[in-house]
Structure 1
Amino acid sequence: MRRLIGDFLLPKATAIALWAWVVFNLALVGWVGIQSLKESREVALNPFALPQRPRWENFSSAWQAAEFSAAALNSVLLTVIGSVLIVAVAAPAAYVLARSNRRMAGPTINYFAIGLSIPLQTILVPIVVIKLSVYTFMEDWVTGWWDNRITLLVFQVALSVPFSVFVLTGYMRSLPHEIEEAAEIDGAGPLRSFVQVIMPVARPGLTTVFVLSVMGLWNETLLALLIAPLPEERNLPAALLGLYSSMQYSSDWGGMFAGIVILIYPMIVLYIWLGRRIVEGMTAGISR
């Protein structure tokens, strides 16, 4: 009986639970999209009904009320530049750790793994202190000005590197050594081998880290609120919180849901488009 439960019933129950969770989340995403096309009265009285007339103007009102233009530009710049920097820093570090025969390589990888377990909330006070110190130092002694978005970018990259190095190290280990030996025979040095041989071969892993970094930086809220609190420095999640504060008094719930759609739907589309590549990159180091 126990063997029957372990070999048949438990996997089936797990699969059913996972599919139920997937269906629930998909239904929730669709429900939010439907609410974004309704009037506030329809949202309150008929939350599960289709809109009587799609109100596409909810998106324009949400965009203007939350000043999403500047916030969207900030989010795009921080996300793209930050993701590129994360890959640029993590890729060579992961390659060296994956190919190194030194005794410190293994413990160093463990340190990166330990970095994943540190909650952001435990280091918020040091982050704020460093942010204020950097702002004062740069403004008073170096450039005469400073933008908190630069500080936010640096912290986002620094906090994302451990996960990226951990993922890429496993992927780099799965790559055969023969490709580097062939490059050495052709006269390529270590740097040239890494740039012209390893990087193209490791594209699935790099794509995975890049996309996951894009999704993480796009949704970053807590750091943005602490480091870049000014209206002109806000990203989209911070602007959405400001929209919620204003919409709850005006009761424009259709506009509120439209703001949520503007924030989350691009990442959903991105994951649907590149989801298979993300899974392949995450599992390549295990399956090979």
Structure 2
Amino acid sequence: HALYVIGENPLQSEADQHRARRLLSTRDFIVVQDLFMTATAELADVVLPAAAAWAESEGTVTNSERRVQRVRRALDPPGEARDDLEIIYELARRMGFDWGEATAERTWNEVRSLSPVHAGMSYRRLEELDGIQWPCYDENHPGELFLHSRLWENPVPGNRAPFVAVDHDPPVDKLDADFPIRLTTGRRLDSYNTGVQSAGYTSPMRRGESLDISPEDAATYGLVEGEQVRVVSRRGQVEVAVRIDPSLRPGLTFMTLHFQDDVATNLLTIDATDPKSGTAEFKATAIRIEKLPQAAGVAGS
């Protein structure tokens, strides 16, 4: 069984890090294609150095308002690093499949031929209009300002937007006397995912990992700002500093996944997934907080 990882760090980004490591260790062969020597890359049999897409590749980028824009190469990749597309095409050639020239525009035109919502987005139009919002169905379509604007037409063209009613399903990782506190995980503005890309530069907003906790819970457990505690879930444990956050309600705590080399938050999280989206339940882990012996002495002095 082989695994080919492109631009991801699943060893540290997946829920339940013990399980992720165990699954990765069962692969017979791992290839990682990335800008950095990530924790996942360190497990790989082959590492293919990739280009930084935002500065060293040609192509497109789609932002959160669905606007597709052109990306232009400003620099050549350093050393042996190569564009992702070039690497994939070369691998195909060596496996007996000649896909032709590895150009970004040619690949984008293939995407347009397969995706009706991108059909009208030629490179020429993307450059002339400084980007287009999908859906854009043909070369005369301006792109949709609102994703579902067609639903206001009478009669409605095409299919109506599907709505699926679901029953509330509580978190799989249930609270009980041993694990009475809910941990939710997320991001901070100045950092990105497991920190591989953002940890290399400084930010006046950045601080290390913390267990953010409400003032009420801090008082209940006798915790003070900056105190090191042990956070334990049904899958693992980490040690981390306390940060008191008045915006949190009692019973709810918060941590990020940005500092995995220092505090491996995903040792705590559960790999249960949502039946509709397949997303792991990062937002609902049952934990308990344990005072450390040395911290208890400091707090009592």
TM-score bin, normalised by smaller chain: under 0.3
Q: Which TM-score applies when normalising by structure 1? A: 0.21
Instruction: Specify which structure has the bigger relative contact order, considering alpha-carbon pairs within 8 angstroms and separated by 6 or more residues.
Output: 1
